[in-house]
Structure 1
Amino acid sequence: MLKSKKPHESEVIMTEMVLPNDTNTLNNLMGGRLLHWMDICAAISAQRHSNRIVVTASVDNVSFTEPIRLGNIVTMKAKVTRSFNSSMEVFLEVWAEDIPAGQRISTNRAFYTFVAVDQNGRPIEVPPLDAETEEEKELFISALRRRQLRLVLAGRMNPSEATELKALFEVQ
């Protein structure tokens, strides 16, 4: 049996500067470049939790709420919210900072799913997660609903089996 880990043990903070090669013709950070950085940050978090090589299984609903401009500092924070058998959900937040203007804004949030694999690329068991704070506990509980939704949308779970999702719609 694997020893459980705390969410803070998987926390990763990654910082990048938006340079001209990272931008589109409007001098805003290209979305694909941000997704690349986010994937790296979230993967490091999953690797810290599992002590294994991980592969990206899914990315949930990344919305681009604010443009990130040339010269901004981009800070990403990721941590595992729940682990299942071989998969882990990672919550990632992104901020953009304009240092000369003294402004910092939230620009993106996303949930990533990673699968830990062995040296042959086969899924391997990961340690359980021990949520401590109220926020961590809420993310942990709601992770099961998000997982069921992902599986239903991917055609890997029958909607009638998604008990956590059904509970959201039942009248009590």
Structure 2
Amino acid sequence: MFKSILLQRKIASIIFIVLLQSFALKYSPKILAQLPYISNSSNINTIENSQLEKFAKAVKSLQMIDRMTQLEMLKAIKAIEMSPEEFMKIGQQEKNKRNLNMEKQIKFEETLITVKRINQKDRLEKREAIKNAGLEVSQFNRIGKMVEQNPELQKVVVKLLGI
């Protein structure tokens, strides 16, 4: 049973990553256009502990939202009696304009609509989670860049996350 759960999580993660990559190109410009411009003149090398704590709180919330989104997507795919691998395969075939079995194509398209709704809900929930943590999206992104570029900040965030 443990192996089954791990396999389901791995499959859900793969689906999530593939779908996010597919949709990121389509939706990212719209999301980024909504974000306020961050001036490079702001002091990007300093950050308060309270900001890091808020960042870590937001990251925890985002991780939980990711898990729930993965489960919802997996449930939507299983509802049409299709394996995640088959769903991804059809998604790749559609990108390359290959011909598919009509029944599978219809199921795929219907489920894709559901997956897009789940993805849209995911983005809204993530924005809300960041705000609930006490940050604006622009602040979260700025702190994320700082943490990404600074191994010392990474250690602090990992500690705050309890990893």
- Give TM-score, length-normalised by structure 1: 0.28
Higher strand share: 1
Greater helix percent: which structure?
A: 2
TM, length-normalised to structure 2? 0.29
* Higher Rg: 2
